[in-house]
Amino acid sequence: MAILLIPLAIVALGWAAFAAHGSLQRRGASRGWFAAFFALMAAGACTGVYFGFFFDYLAAPTVRVYSFPVPAAFHILESYDDSTQRWVDFITPAPILFAGSNVIIFSCAMVLPLWLVSAFWRFPSA
């Protein structure tokens, strides 16, 4: 069931981004609004590339996670009887797809504040 969360998040955020663009078009927004929309999409894509392909963090002292918010890989520090430790990697089934989904998630999520502001903004009548 949890495997459905990633596609559902992508679909919901994608719908919200398209709805934000459509709302700006229907309400007759100026070029500045569309420039802000596409600038936020580009900034979100850049943020998604960073968090999807270059970001890692320690979820616990013995667990390192690569990619955020959808993890692409894990390293777990395992201890053995002879008092040695070794990082063991666990790669997701499609790591590039999982990391790439972060690009879509971040680029669509970045325009949500613009959509919220534009919903309460008074556009001039055409």
Q: pLDDT truncated to tens, each residue of the chain (126 aa)? A: 567 888 898 999 999 999 999 989 988 888 999 999 999 999 999 999 999 999 999 999 999 999 999 899 999 999 998 989 999 999 988 888 888 899 999 999 999 999 999 888 877 765
- The SS3 assignment for 79 reads strand
Which pLDDT value is given to residue 18? Answer: 94
Q: What are the domain boundaries of the chain? A: 13-120
Q: What does the pLDDT read at residue 1?
A: 59
Dist. CA 45–CA 100, nearest whole Å: 10
Give me the DSSP letters along the chain. -GGGHHHHHHHHHHHHHHHHHHHHHHTT--HHHHHHHHHHHHHHHHHHHIIIII-EEEEETTEEEESSSS--EEEEEEE-TTS-EEEEEEE-SSHHHHHHHHHHHHHHHTTHHHHHHHHHS-PPP-
